[in-house]
Amino acid sequence: MTVEALKEKITALFPAVTFEEGGQWLTILVESADWHGIADILRQNETLCFDYLLCLTCIDWKTHLTMVYHLDATKYRHNLVVKVRLEKVNPAIETVSDIWQTANFHEREVYEMFGVNFLHHPDLRLLILPDGWEGKNPLLKDFEDPINMIKL
Amino acid sequence: MVEEIGSTADGNIILNVGPQHPATHGVLHLVITINGETIQKVEPHLGYIHRSIEKMCESLTYRQFIYVTSRMDYLSSHINNHACALCVEKGLQIEIPSRAQVIRVLMDELTRIASHELWWGAMAMDLGALTPFFHAFREREAINDIMEETCGARLTMNYMVPGGVMQDIHPNFQKRVKEFITLFKSKVSEYNELVTGNIIFQNRMKGVGNLSAADAISFGCSGPTARGSGVSCDIRKLYPYEIYDKINFEEILESEGDSFARYMVRVREMSQSISIIEQLIDNIPEGDFQAKTKAVLKLPKGEFYQRVETARGDFGVYIVSEGGSTPYRIKFRSPGFSNLSALDHMARGSKLGDLVAMMGTLDLVIPDIDR
Amino acid sequence: MEITSNNSVEKPVSLTSENSFPGQIHDTPGGGIVLSKLDDIINWARSNSLWPLTFATSCCGIEMMSVAAAKYDFSRFGFEVARASPRQADVIIIAGTIVNKMAPVLKRLYDQMADPKYVIAMGACAISGGPFFYNTYSVVKGADHVIPVDVYVAGCPPRPEALLHALISLQDKIKSGQTREQIQVPKPLSGGDILNQL
């Protein structure tokens, strides 16, 4: 499906989402409360069929966090980027590990690095960091480590 | 840890495999729950080689962070560097001369053969056959010598830079690559006789570790792991970069989804890489090997994502830039991270000895997973 | 190996080359000679048969595997059998970065090895944290923060010949009596008397 057709289809299905301009792929901005429902439809819809979650990550913008999901469809080979804005204090979002099973590990990594709480995740605990690093969230921009980190 | 090592009330034993273990290919710690010899659950514990690369890259400039990616998936170090260079070039929007493109693709394919050779030798060694290890390293040393003459290093070559390649190829490069091609072609039948056609090997691999196509897509598997289940996911074919759209090669797909299918995909990919090299080695165009770039690179504000096909699968570099000379956030999407999440699903119900065969066919390189 | 050929400085007058036969033990002046000869023999035996532990965390592990393979072979020097279990190994070659999560595992492996044991730190990461020195929150800046190291090999990764040079240097270090278990630390004087006198 071309980018314009994709844009029309998504506007038709989800009137509330907004588009972000200037990205490499079509980028949509979604509210965190609607995310699970939208993700379900993106996966199940016959003409969209986004069944491959490439990359799940988070960006710390100092005033808020943004979750970024890169999606790909194996049948039609169209791409979509979904961004969800989260609050800096107690960020929480629904898990999508029941829709794409690869999200299980990716969400655990975002939980330990950024402190985002994934609701209804089957097994949310530290994956890569050693024991005792809960709450330290190293990839946040205000992570303090006076021994190792050099402030430029 | 969630469960203590020991035995549970229903007769299951909880056992540690690794982190120091000859078959785990790095430091992978698996906590397996077994009942007798049948595996009930496999839980990977990662992080034993977590070098905080993503945080470190936020303080390195766009020319400096490329060396770190060599050390992430060190068996496909050229391909990782290639991905980073392409992503930075995408941001700067510069054109690469065609000589540099051809050299980059040649180096990529040589690295892919070297990585699959090592995989083949190490996998046979895990299953107990020690001889293929030495045969594999014999060919790998030939490739390392070619790399060393041109790039200066055997394993972690920082040869790809934004704009092209760092130095022109050595005058002996074409001759040595052609000698390597003849050497390799004579060895493929040896490999098939020694390992692929071996009845013990086939019995240990056929029917072990079944992964259906839908599961492979859902777990985010890519590369030979997914192609062994029939999922067409070669980035070189689907989203071509450099000159891959002008080269003739096949994407190898197998449909059974067991360990033997994944093994055959990799062995056949080595032959495909040889045919790509043959098509290119005599047609290296003349010209510059590096486009002119500024000394200090600054990417414009925005986000850039580049996907390449490493020997393990779909590697992605995601750069978020705020206009400075260092990236604001870099995320490396590593193929092993998603491939490993399928191990639990594949291993339930099989025997302990099959776990080693499955880990071998997934071709895990743990620093790639932990970053 | 002729025991007499190493250490006799001068032959005593009574035995000449005509009336002595090979293998006959000559008396040598001075005492304590038997002790040093035994040390030499033990050191020679130990250094020529060091079995490494397969401990490779990251990229240097591949170069260590290259050294184990046929082109640069380390079994020529006695490192024939690479053991997977620390209880059966003599030398641990730390090939790769040590991070905070791996450090207790490394310490435990070192403790499980039987004496005499030796450590080679291979690669820049094991020497000092290497390319991951600045701005990393999880890397141990050098394996010698965890266990004592005998030989350091520079390189990222070091060439196989460099690792072979390190292995031979370790053998020389053992033969010359400079490894940890051979350096005699002088026993402290009865410390209580000295302190009371001060």
- Residue extents of the structural domains in chain A: 3-93
Q: How far apart are CA C70 and CA A8, in angstroms?
A: 62
From B273's Cα to the closest Cα of chain A, the distance in A is 24
Q: How far apart are CA B250 and CA B234, in angstroms?
A: 10
Q: Find tokens 């165009």 and name the residue.
A: B285
β-pairing, A64-72 with A52-60? antiparallel
Q: Chunked in runs of 10, what are the mean pLDDT values of chain B (371 residues)?
A: 59 84 79 88 89 89 88 90 91 89 91 91 87 89 91 88 89 90 88 84 87 89 90 89 87 87 90 90 87 87 91 91 89 91 88 87 88 83
A142: amino acid identity, one letter: D
CB–CB of B47 and A150 under 8 A?
no
CB–CB of C101 and A130 under 8 A?
yes
Q: What is the pLDDT of residues A122-145, one digit of tens each?
A: 888 888 888 888 888 888 888 887
Q: Which of C134, C135, C137, C140 to mutate to test the interface with A (most CBs of A within 10 A)?
A: C137
Q: What is the mean pLDDT of residues C119-142?
A: 89
Residue C152 has pLDDT above 90, yes or no: yes
CB–CB of A59 and B215 under 8 A?
no
CB B370 within 8 A of CB B364: no
Q: What is the pLDDT of residues C56-91, one digit of tens each?
A: 888 888 888 889 888 888 888 888 888 788 888 889
Q: Which of C57, C105, C146 to mutate to test the interface with B (most CBs of B within 10 A)?
A: C57
Q: Which of A74, A113, A141 to mutate to test the interface with B (most CBs of B within 10 A)?
A: A74
At residue C197, the pLDDT reads 54
β-pairing, A27-30 with A18-20? antiparallel
Q: Find tokens 């819809």 and name the residue.
A: A45
At residue C191, the pLDDT reads 54
Domain ranges of chain C: 52-175
| Tokens encoding C71 | 């082109």
Phi then psi for B232, rounded to 5 degrees?
-85, 110
- Contacts with A143 from chain C: Cβ below 8 Å: 137
Residue C171 has pLDDT above 60, yes or no: yes
At residue A141, the pLDDT reads 86
Residue C188 has pLDDT above 80, yes or no: no
Residues of A within an 8 Å Cβ radius of C: 129-130, 138, 143, 145, 148-150
CB–CB of A143 and C135 under 8 A?
no
Cβ-Cβ contacts under 8 Å for B344 (sequence gap 6 or more): B41, B42, B43, B44
pLDDT above 90 coverage of chain A, percent: 7
* Angle, CA B164 vertex, CA B158 and CA B165 arms, to 5°: 40
Closest partner residue to B71 among C54, C59, C138, by Cβ?
C59
Chain B residues 60-99 within an 8 A CB cutoff of chain A: 90
Q: What is the CATH number of domain A3-93?
A: 3.30.460.80
CB–CB of B22 and C99 under 8 A?
no
Closest partner residue to A139 among B46, B54, B320, by Cβ?
B54
> Could you report the predicted ipTM of this complex, rounded to two decimals?
0.92
At residue A11, the pLDDT reads 86
At residue C40, the pLDDT reads 82
Q: What is the pLDDT of residues C39-55, one digit of tens each?
A: 788 888 888 888 988 78
The full DSSP string for B150-219 is: HHS-SS----EETTEESSPPPTTHHHHHHHHHHHHHHHHHHHIIIIIT-HHHHHHHTTSS---HHHHHHT
Give the range among B171-180, C9-18, C177-186 with minimum mean pLDDT.
C9-18
Which residues of chain A, if any, have pLDDT below 70?
A: 151-152
* Angle, CA B248 vertex, CA B242 and CA B250 arms, to 5°: 105
| Chains in contact with chain A (at least 3 beta-carbon pairs closer than 8 A) | B, C
CB–CB of A74 and B232 under 8 A?
yes
Please give the model's pTM, rounded to 2 decimal places: 0.87
Residue C154 has pLDDT above 50, yes or no: yes
At residue B5, the pLDDT reads 62
| Chain C touched by B59 (CB under 8 Å) | yes
Mean pLDDT (chain A) is: 86
- Domains by residue range for chain B, with CATH: 6-370 (1.10.645.10)
B321: left (phi over 0), alpha (psi -120 to 50) or beta: beta
Q: Nearest to residue B311, comparing CAs of B50, B53, B80, B155?
A: B80
Choose which CATH entry (3.40.50.12280, 2.30.30.90, 3.40.50.2300, 2.40.50.140) describes domain C52-175. Answer: 3.40.50.12280
